[in-house]
Amino acid sequence: MRAVVHEGAAGAGGVRVAEVPAPRPGPGEVLVRLKAAGLNHRDLFVVDSRGPADPWTVLGSDGAGVVAAAGAETTVEVGAEVVVNPSLDWAEPDAVPEVPAILGVPANGTLAEYVVVPAGNVVPKPAHLSWTEAAALPLAALTAYRALFTRGGLAAGEHVLLPGIGSGVATFALAMAKAAGATVSVTSRSPEKLARATELGADRTIGSSGDWAAELGEPVDLVVDSIGSATFDACLSVLRSGGRMVTLGATTGPDVELSLRDLFFRQISLLGTSMGSAREFSQMVALVAEHRVRPVVHHVYDLADGPRALAELASGDQFGKLVVAIA
């Protein structure tokens, strides 16, 4: 089968399209013929962390397709249209694994014509989504869902701030928060991204270098941040007393200074999150289906252009998800 693999030199230099053996499902597993696969920044972290001593691996964590074969002890029907949950061996929200396992290292991933996953890691594709939209869901939408609802406890009528709108996680968080009846404010350095966020339903848009508190006009109940050190102080400053901040990334750096007095006097809850469980994945897909949420897809590439798609992902210029069409 054709696949986008990493082998050899660290980084983009080791990424290529290759012919590799097609996998076969074992007991409790299914073989999915992929229609499309989505890209995540995790794919960039994977290729940058590998080197010449590592064996080849198929990249990609997100995917959607049709069940082509099922191993023994499975109840999934061949021919079922499914979305793949890339989070392996994590069943319940509170049973957080010490080191989460994800498709695309250690297990071969979704940037290929076929992938084998445990039968419990596929759920029915929402009928209103195209294949490219469905493939954009898994990792980013799961992360956004857990951040907003499991960890952040977002409720209808609350106000959530999403710094750095434009990433897959942030665009999903915007759509899900609006579906849940929340007020949503976003920030960005890009006027174009702020305009797109307004089109998607954002209630307030703020330039990253502006006065967040003044432009918000009120403290917020929840902040979901993936930027890290560059926005940490600003995020805390706009929270109401008793508010919550969920952090899920550190693109500008992981190190911050924190006044414990500010934290305990204002009774702020500071929470971390990453990915999510199988139960949350099913809940996320149900929310997407019920509210007919549509992922924001920035561009669709062919499988042969997988390396070029990763290069665009590294540029950070996209708004929403990059997707690779496979079949």
The 10s digit of each residue's pLDDT in 51-65 is 999 999 999 999 999
Q: How far is residue 269's CA from residue 258's CA, in Å, rounded to a whole number?
A: 13
Distance of CA 230 to the CA centre of its chain: 21
Task: Determine contact, residues 97/85, Cβ cutoff 8 Å.
Answer: no
Task: Look at the alpha carbons of 166, 247, 277, 181 in this order and tell me if their dihedral is positive or negative.
Answer: negative
Mean pLDDT for the stretch of residues 275-281: 97
What pLDDT shows up at residue 196? 97
The model's confidence at residue 30, banded by pLDDT at 50, 70 and 90, is: very high
Phi and psi (nearest 5°) for 132? -65, -35
104-145 residue pLDDT tens: 988 899 999 999 999 999 999 999 999 999 999 999 999 999
Task: Name which of 142, 177, 180, 150 is nearest 278 in CA terms.
Answer: 142
Q: Which two tokens stand for residue 159?
A: 């106000």
292-311 residue pLDDT tens: 999 999 999 999 999 999 99
Q: How far is CA 64 from CA 21, 26, 86, 199, 227, in A?
A: 20, 20, 11, 27, 28
**CATH level 2 (architecture), domain 142-272:** 3-Layer(aba) Sandwich (3.40)
> How many degrees, rounded to 5, is the angle at CA 116 between CA 82 and CA 88?
80
Q: Which two tokens stand for residue 72?
A: 């023994």
What pLDDT shows up at residue 316? 84
What pLDDT shows up at residue 106? 83
What is the percent of the chain with per-residue pLDDT over 90, rounded to a whole number? 97
Q: Which residue has the higher pLDDT, 205 or 317?
A: 205
Q: How far is residue 175's CA from residue 291's CA, in Å, rounded to a whole number?
A: 9
Cis peptide bond upstream of 25, omega within 30: no
2-137+295-325 is classed CATH 3.30.70.3040: no
Average pLDDT, the chain: 96
Q: Which amino acid is at 11?
A: G
Q: Do domains 2-137+295-325 and 142-272 have the same CATH topology?
A: no
Q: Which two tokens stand for residue 318?
A: 């996209």
234-260 residue pLDDT tens: 999 999 999 999 999 999 999 999 999
Q: How far is residue 259's CA from residue 188's CA, in Å, rounded to a whole number?
A: 26
The DSSP output letter for 126 is P
What pLDDT shows up at residue 99? 87
Residue 327: pLDDT above 90?
A: no
The model's confidence at residue 48, banded by pLDDT at 50, 70 and 90, is: very high
Of 23-32, 98-107, 138-147, 159-168, the least confident: 98-107
Task: Determine contact, residues 245/271, Cβ cutoff 8 Å.
Answer: yes
Q: How far is CA 289 from CA 275, 284, 286, 294, in A?
A: 20, 9, 5, 9
Task: Determine contact, residues 307/15, Cβ cutoff 8 Å.
Answer: yes
Task: Name which of 154, 148, 190 is nearest 169 in CA terms.
Answer: 148
Q: How far is residue 38's CA from residue 136's CA, in Å, rounded to a whole number?
A: 5
Kindly report the pTM of this predicted structure: 0.96
Residue 100: pLDDT above 90?
A: no
Q: Where are the domains of the chain?
A: 2-137+295-325, 142-272
Alpha-helical regions (H) of the chain: 41-49, 131-136, 138-145, 168-179, 191-199, 212-216, 232-237, 260-265, 278-291, 306-315
CA dihedral 27, 96, 100, 49 (to 10 degrees): 180
Residues 6+ apart with CB under 8 A from 133: 294, 295, 297
